[in-house]
Amino acid sequence: MIRENFLTVTQLSGLIQNTLNREPLLKGLWVRGEITNFKRHSSGHLYFSLKDKDTVIRAVMFRGHADKLKFRPADGQDCFFRGYVALYPRETQLQFYVEEIEAAGLGSEALALEELKKKLAARGYFDSAAKKRLPPLPKAVGVISSPTGAVIQDIRKVLWRRYPGMPILLYPAAVQGKEAVDSVVRGLRAMERAAVDVVILARGGGSAEDLSAFNREEIVEAIHRFSKPLISAVGHETDVTLADLTADVRAATPSMAAELAVPIKEELRLLLIQQRERLTGGLIRFVGLRQEKLARLKNSYVFTQPYRLLDPHRERLARGQEKMRERMERILLERQNRFKHEIVRLEALSPLATLGRGYAICRDEEGHVICDAAQVSEKQKVQVTLARGGLACRVEEILYE
């Protein structure tokens, strides 16, 4: 049997989708739930699920809305979600399309601030090792604050009470409202070029909204890059902003910032007097000790009997000379004995000694030694060398060859 009245799966999905779209209660809903299975897609879309103790529903937040979030969603967060219900057409699955998220327990602004604080802390912006020391005596003090109101007056009063005549350079900045961020950043840049040694960033107390500019990343970045020592005095003692954490020194009030910036001039004057007296006394003692040492040296035998310094050297020289003489005598005696011994050896090997025993040397007229009778002939002249003297002879007869 073939039915004529039926719907395809696509038509059924579309019918459900149209029904949901026509229902006003399913648009602009606020739903409270816990985020689970959170995933940020490379496209920028956020995919997650909302759950309570009994039910789970899939949700999606497209990039256009996700880019406006002031905090980073994560699994386990309890939030309020505004959006509408629709079907994911391909799977005909119910889905909540989120357009706005607010934290249920903690406001989104606070979450955003906490996220920024963690990010800056990871970059080392709050590390104490990176903090610059305040100069002990600045030549001039820079102030970034509102030109009107009690803050600048309190700072000026404290600075000049502690150090009368201390030069103060004010950059008139907006310290709250929409212009505050750009104004403070410009002030820090101006103070980089100014002839000041320390800078105070100050404003009076206020609500969290009034202080919000000093939690902005732009101001924190500018403070982190600032090359001069910076004192932050933003809000009251209980108000701690990211600007306070990044600055080199945090003061609870603007007046305390002024106290930290400069010393008390009168105390410096008294300290200089004390130091001068200590230096003078120390110099007098130093000179006195050196004079005593000089007197002792002048009376020492080095100057009164300088020849005594030579006595040990003279004795050592005499001993050295004696040792040298003895050594030379031994060497000379050894050389004489060796010479005599060599003479005896030479005499034993000398042909003269052989001649002395009765032998003679016979040579022909050309001086050749004659060792064999066959070398001469009768009537030939020969020369005979004896131990003493020589003979000129003629061969009369050759007896045998």
Q: What is the DSSP string of 205-247?
A: ---TTTTGGGGSHHHHHHHHH--S-EEEEES-TT---HHHHHS
pLDDT for 17 equals: 67
- Specify the length of the chain in residues: 401
Residue 311 lies in a domain: no
Residue 78 lies in a domain: yes
pLDDT band at 172; cut points 50, 70, 90: very high
Which residue among 246, 263, 280 closes a domain?
A: 263
Cα angle, residue 268 at apex, residues 262 and 271 outer, rounded to 5°: 145
SS3 at position 81: strand
CATH number where 46 lies: 2.40.50.140
Q: Token match 């949901």: residue? A: 20
Average pLDDT value for residue range 45-73: 89
pLDDT for 138 equals: 94
Average pLDDT value for residue range 251-267: 92
- Domain shared by 145 and 259, yes or no: yes
HSE value, Cβ hemisphere, 13 Å, CA-based, for 100: 9
Q: What is the pTM of this model?
A: 0.52
Query: Taking the CA atoms of the chain, what radius of gyration do you get in angstroms?
Result: 58
Residue 269 lies in a domain: no
CATH number where 231 lies: 3.40.50.261
> In this structure, are strands 29-40 and 93-103 parallel, antiparallel, or unpaired?
unpaired
* Phi, psi torsion values for 305, nearest 5 degrees: -135, 70
Average pLDDT value for residue range 372-398: 85
The sign of the dihedral angle between the CA atoms of 51, 55, 58, 63 is negative
Residue 325 lies in a domain: no
The total number of structural domains in the chain stands at 3
Average pLDDT value for residue range 296-318: 78
Span 196-229, pLDDT tens digits = 999 999 987 776 667 888 888 999 999 999 999 9
Residue 286 lies in a domain: no
- Domain shared by 134 and 235, yes or no: yes
Residue 296 lies in a domain: no
Between 325 and 311, the more confident residue is 325
pLDDT for 298 equals: 80
Token digits of residue 35 = 């985020």
- Domain shared by 191 and 71, yes or no: no
The answer to whether residues 145 and 151 touch, using CB atoms and an 8 Å cutoff, is yes
Which domain, by its residues, includes 199? 130-263
pLDDT band at 237; cut points 50, 70, 90: low
The answer to whether residues 35 and 66 touch, using CB atoms and an 8 Å cutoff, is no
User: What whole-number distance in Å separates Cα of residue 96 and Cα of residue 26?
Assistant: 10
The answer to whether residues 301 and 308 touch, using CB atoms and an 8 Å cutoff, is yes
Residue 185 has pLDDT above 90, yes or no: yes
Between 280 and 314, the more confident residue is 280
Residue 401 has pLDDT above 60, yes or no: no
| Percentage of residues in the chain having pLDDT higher than 70 | 89
Which residue among 222, 242, 263 closes a domain?
A: 263
Which residue among 247, 263, 279 closes a domain?
A: 263
Residue 35 has pLDDT above 60, yes or no: yes
pLDDT band at 36; cut points 50, 70, 90: confident
pLDDT band at 371; cut points 50, 70, 90: confident
- Domain shared by 74 and 150, yes or no: no
What mean pLDDT value characterizes the chain? 85
- Domain shared by 246 and 202, yes or no: yes
The answer to whether residues 13 and 89 touch, using CB atoms and an 8 Å cutoff, is yes
User: What whole-number distance in Å separates Cα of residue 72 and Cα of residue 70?
Assistant: 7
pLDDT for 255 equals: 92
Residue 164 lies in a domain: yes
Q: Token match 């003489």: residue? A: 325
Span 111-134, pLDDT tens digits = 777 888 889 999 898 998 889 999
Average pLDDT value for residue range 53-72: 88
Residue 2 has pLDDT above 70, yes or no: no
- Of the candidates 235, 201, 192, 243, which has an alpha carbon nearest to the alpha carbon of residue 218? 243
Pick the range with the lowest mean pLDDT from 119-133, 177-191, 339-353. Answer: 339-353
Residue 157 lies in a domain: yes
- Of the candidates 193, 255, 188, 253, which has an alpha carbon nearest to the alpha carbon of residue 216? 188
SS3 at position 390: strand
